[in-house]
Amino acid sequence: MTKIAMLGAGFIGQMHALSFMSARMTRDLPVNPELTTLIETSANHALAENVAKRYGWTRTVFDDWEGALAERNHQLFVNAGPNFVHVNPSIVAAQAGAAIFSEKPLASTADEAHRLWKAVEQADVKHMCAFVHRFIPALRLARDMVKAGELGEIWAYRSQMLLDMREPDGRLTWRFIRNQAGGGATGDLGSHHIDVARFIVGEVVEVSGRTMTRLKNPSGDDAAVNDDSFSAIAVLDQGATATFEASRVLAGHALTGRIEIDGTKGTLAFSMERMNELVFTEPNKGPRTIMVTANTHPYGQFSLPVGIQGAHPIGWHDAFTFQAYHMLSAIEHGTSLDPDAATFRDGYRVAETVDAILRSAASRQVENVRFRN
């Protein structure tokens, strides 16, 4: 049994609650999560009450997150709050002995992410950062193909994450404000694809970045608004070049997520809108679409037997379910979190990379990404 406490009942908190419930349906080793305590530290009590009722949280705690997390009643703390509450509640929960599952970016700055990683390591609890792309079967297969040498030597990685996250009324929520979210498009969106580059190809060692901010702050304080678009070129530790681009203000994009990996033997291409497919192009063969839905593919037999009815496509929720299962299995069966999942070490390293891109955009210089132990 894993008793869970979670901070945040917003978009992603609801996705996690849904996914913990779905993870129970696995055909793998069984897991037994209990949605014990939902914590809300904003004034939005009505939302938390509604979510607690819909998902079956046993109790809802308002404001006193410290008391709830210090009581040693939970085996897992899920931090699904805004970036600026990622650090202190997670440290308190870790010191009370709970495993920690935190949303990305791990913190608003690399300094804060490093403080969190070190504190949780010192508490000697399991930790996982929610870079959910690692649980999309097509990207897991891409990682396996690259590691098996099927693409040859990797020379280039490129990615784009393009959205329109503007509120219809022009309001700016916490994620648009630098001292609450940290980086904007860089930290919120770029962090995902930076982690995918690290997961499949290699660590980022050098970056050159540019950012743009077009949104205006209704309060008049435009300087408080973080970047709403960025592009960066980078070098990875095994010598490949990488490009990252993301924007949250593009009217023509709902959720464009493109990743391409070029090796000396071929190219892999992934698109979030066709998340069951991986397109493999080899010289003189043209593109070949691999439907990543077979029972031999990652998570191909997770909850339903793949048999006479064929292999059905999956969705974003499934990736969250696989991620939730990975965390629960580590707690209940002692399975390893890494290298398949991102730990807080990965979360910290991505935060360091985001900071380097922002430094480069400000200085207009190439920046090295330096990692602390």
* Shortest CB 181 distance to ligand NAD, Å: 8
What whole-number distance in Å separates Cα of residue 247 and Cα of residue 185? 6
Q: Residue 182, interface with ligand NAD (CB under 6 A)? A: no
Question: Do 83 and 187 touch, CB atoms closer than 8 A?
Answer: yes
Residue of 4, 5, 9, 246 that binds ligand NAD (CB under 6 A)? 9
Between 104 and 126, whose beta carbon lies closer to ligand NAD?
A: 104
* CB-nearest residue to ligand NAD: 10
Measured from the CB atom, the residue of 4 and 85 that comes closer to ligand NAD is 85
| Dihedral in degrees, nearest 10, Cα atoms 319, 323, 118, 188 | 20
State which of residues 44, 88, 95, 256 lies at the interface with ligand NAD (CB under 6 A).
44
Contacting ligand NAD (CB under 6 A), which of 2, 19, 22, 41? 41
Q: Among 104, 140, 158, 326, which residue sits at the site for ligand NAD (rule: CB under 6 A)?
A: 104
Scanning residues 121 to 180, which ones bind ligand NAD (CB under 6 A)? 130, 132, 174
Q: Which residue has the tokens 């190219």?
A: 267
Q: Does 95 bind ligand NAD (CB under 6 A)?
A: no
Q: Which stretch binds ligand NAD (CB under 6 A): 3-11, 220-228, 303-311, 355-363?
A: 3-11
In this structure, the number of other CB atoms found within 10 A of the CB of residue 310 comes to: 8
188 φ/ψ sector (left φ>0, alpha ψ -120 to 50, else beta) = alpha
Strand 2-7 relative to strand 76-79, pairing: parallel
Task: Return the range that interacts with ligand NAD (CB under 6 A); candidates 5-13, 55-63, 228-236, 355-363.
Answer: 5-13
Q: Which is nearer to ligand NAD, 44 or 88 (CB)?
A: 44
Separation between Cα atoms, residue 267 and residue 115, nearest integer Å? 38
CA 210 to chain centre: 22
Residue 326 structure tokens: 């990975």
Enumerate the H helices of 32-190 as residue ranges: 45-55, 65-70, 88-95, 110-123, 137-147, 178-181
Q: Interface with ligand NAD by CB under 6 A: which range of 39-47, 144-152, 268-276, 295-303? A: 39-47
Residues found near ligand NAD in the complex (CB under 6 A): 8-13, 40-42, 44, 47, 80-83, 85, 103-104, 130, 132, 174, 188
